[in-house]
Structure 1
């Protein structure tokens, strides 16, 4: 299915198949929090890793950044299993602890994408980009999904392009761009 940038119209099947991208937070120092971080970064989605994060939050002493990061990582693991309300609670906690952690906002935005609340998603993703994130290509990819969900095809196209520009090796945004055809008017 091709998308023409100048013409709006959501390809719901393409958007649903795309899936959002999650941005985990590196937690250093050993212990359960670091293992939680590695699971989130490594793409795990088994509930046992979520439990590992919970154990870390309940038993380990962490500075504010690592505690917020562990909430983000647990939220990422929940997000992968499409537990959107539970994931959002973790991202909310991360924002309360460390309101300048961009990943918490971008991932919270991904929960809104999962529930098709695209306007809320854009607010959070834009805030995350303002604050800065370690993997901005994922934020632009998610923002493209939100724009597409709101039938703003032109903005979606440009955000997929930006994601490719930032991370040319990542195939997901390139695959999404194959659905578009650009015409000049």
Structure 2
């Protein structure tokens, strides 16, 4: 039963002190640090040495250098995002909050993902969540959550940029206000008329 309902986090301790959250964030920060400070410099050094010995590696080195120019800023951006999540989790406790998964109402059919909440298998949908009256989306990278999600753990204010995760704390992600259009939820859309 504990696998279905993870223990509620302590409201008096920072979210980073929750063991699954701490493991996930440390792993994320370490992965980006290794890529940024070890893998990219090692690859470029190896190719420069190979090109100095054999001129056939000069075109390969050029392509790798151009690829690195495009991917290193993305890696740097992901590392800064991981550090921001770490900072938010260090200063705020996990709080369970009720939420609703909101399907988008964009004009692009490929963005809409129809799901049946009563299906036997779990369906994962894009993380666009309604918490209270605020619609939030995962940022800067897309995240997918269970279509049956009814509660999230939140660290920080949902209105001013927070970190959320599904109960358990193992996959935290940043959220920001969603500026796109959303469909009305079924209870609000099918509200009966009270006039005569």
Shared fold per TM-score greater than 0.5: no
Q: Which has the larger radius of gyration?
A: 2
More helix by share: 1
More strand by share: 2
Q: Which structure would you say has the larger RCO, counting Cα contacts within 8 Å and 6 or more residues apart?
A: 1
TM-score by length of 2: 0.28
